[in-house]
Amino acid sequence: MSTTATVNGGISFWYAQEGTPAPREPLPGDTTADVCIVGGGYTGLWTAYYLKKAVPFLNITVLEAKFCGYGASGRNGGWLYNGIAGRDRHARVHGHEPAARLQQAMNHTVTEVIDVCATEGIDADIHRGGVLEVALTPAQLTRLKEFHARELAFGEKERELLGARETAERIRVFGAVGSSWTPHGARLHPAKLAKGLAAAVEALGVTIHESTPVTEIKPKHAVTPYGTVRAPYVLRCTEGFTASLTGQRRTWLPMNSSMIATDPLPDALWDEIGWTGLETLGDMAHAYMYAQRTADGRIALGGRGVPYRYGSKTDNDGRTQEKTIDALRDILTTLFPQLAGIGIAHAWSGVLGVPRDWCATVTLDRSTGLGWAGGYVGSGVATANLAARTLRDLIQQDSGQGGPTDLTTLPWVDHKVRKWEPEPLRWLGVQAMYAAYRTADRQESTTHTPTTAPLARLADHLNGR
């Protein structure tokens, strides 16, 4: 097996493979628009897409600090799936029925993204193989069964609980004692989706300015070093980068997630591993991992690593820490010991947005025309699409072109949350939380008790999850 030196950073493996897009012109000076969208990730681009489709004469401008897909949208694990951060909290606060509607909307969103990509000719290596979440310890198995029962209660009749043998028939994960599979998921190539979406949006007539950082968002204004865009609606779609905007330092915490991509695996190894269904693969650890089998026969696998940089700093073009690369490689070879000699072609990181209560939200403040969507934690690939369709409906409602819809009445709309603590409390809190989760994972795998380690329960409780 030949091994390669690991490339670290360079935005992501997906861009190393795909090439970064040709740059678009920065904002040339002051201008006006009907809607100004700040941030050219999935949230901003899908919002532009649906608004322009709904009202073709709208003048929409997207302002992107670097290039479209530079953020998490071009770096993620490529799990297009039906998870949404905060559903269980909404069930506790608003009742089961509204939360179940939110879940159904997410189930539908997976199909929606696949369908629109087909309609728009966006080839993002999408394969709908579902999501397989495996348990590797008795405590994980207990959580898996609870998780499985909860998902069934939210209307996922198609979900299957699999034993060790049935799990191995799908993917031979070393030590897997069971799994839960849902069809509401697909594997995709993140950068191909971002690139394709930006091109589709531009083809519809939306203006995109890249290399244009917005320094301040205020009612009817998006301010940049090159000029100001004045618009009745200004939408903040900046997710893990939100803290860098004036006045937003403690809104959403930029949580790191890091990934590695192996060299392509020889056929003989794939024969041993299976994974012919191309499911996205996750586990039930507290510091969980997520993985996919890529279209060109690699494994791309991610996990937490160093969770948070002091002062809400973000990474340097995707570079991650060497110790994180080592930790991800350990996870890979624990799951698949036969990959001990495989080369790691690329390692990278990105930031996701985490609200204080870990609940995603989509909001339009009707008094100011300011809107935002995000705080998806690690589940934004599909959720960004639901958020975009919801922002479209909220704007149409506000501008008198429609009433409340199935989307505008979902419980995550207008959800309010308090800000994160100031530093150093923010940093200390996140470090302590992940230290607790890692210790809990270690305890669970050495003691083999079927119950979740109390330390993890305490961390969940203290963090308001």
Ligand X SMILES: Cc1cc2nc3c(=O)[nH]c(=O)nc-3n(C[C@H](O)[C@H](O)[C@H](O)COP(=O)(O)OP(=O)(O)OC[C@H]3O[C@@H](n4cnc5c(N)ncnc54)[C@H](O)[C@@H]3O)c2cc1C
Q: Does 369 bind ligand X (CB under 6 A)?
A: no
Among 139, 198, 259, 301, binds ligand X (CB under 6 A): 259
Q: Does 130 bind ligand X (CB under 6 A)?
A: no
In the bound complex, which residue of the shown chain has the CB atom lying closest to ligand X?
Answer: 380
Among 50, 64, 248, 372, binds ligand X (CB under 6 A): 64
**Cβ closest to ligand X, residue 139 vs residue 434:** 434
CB of 360 to ligand X, least distance (A): 9
Span of 17-25, 166-174, 179-187, 380-388 interacting with ligand X by CB under 6 A: 380-388
Span of 32-40, 151-159, 266-274, 402-410 interacting with ligand X by CB under 6 A: 32-40
Categorise residue 17: left if φ over 0, alpha if ψ from -120 to 50, beta otherwise.
alpha
CB of 349 to ligand X, least distance (A): 6
**Cβ closest to ligand X, residue 369 vs residue 375:** 375
**How many residues at the interface with ligand X, by CB under 6 A?**
44
CB of 256 to ligand X, least distance (A): 7
Q: Does 374 bind ligand X (CB under 6 A)?
A: yes
Q: Does 47 bind ligand X (CB under 6 A)?
A: no
CB of 408 to ligand X, least distance (A): 19
CB of 63 to ligand X, least distance (A): 5
Q: Does 360 bind ligand X (CB under 6 A)?
A: no
Residues in contact with ligand X, shown as a per-residue x/- string from 311 to 350 under the rule CB under 6 A: ---------------------------------------x
Among 11, 13, 43, 124, binds ligand X (CB under 6 A): 43
- Taking the C-alpha atoms of residue 389 and residue 380, their distance in angstroms, rounded to an integer, is 14
Residues in contact with ligand X, shown as a per-residue x/- string from 182 to 221 under the rule CB under 6 A: -------------------------------xx-------
Q: Which residues bind ligand X (CB under 6 A)?
A: 38-44, 63-66, 70-73, 75-79, 213-214, 237-241, 244-245, 257, 259, 290, 302, 350-352, 374, 376, 378-382, 384
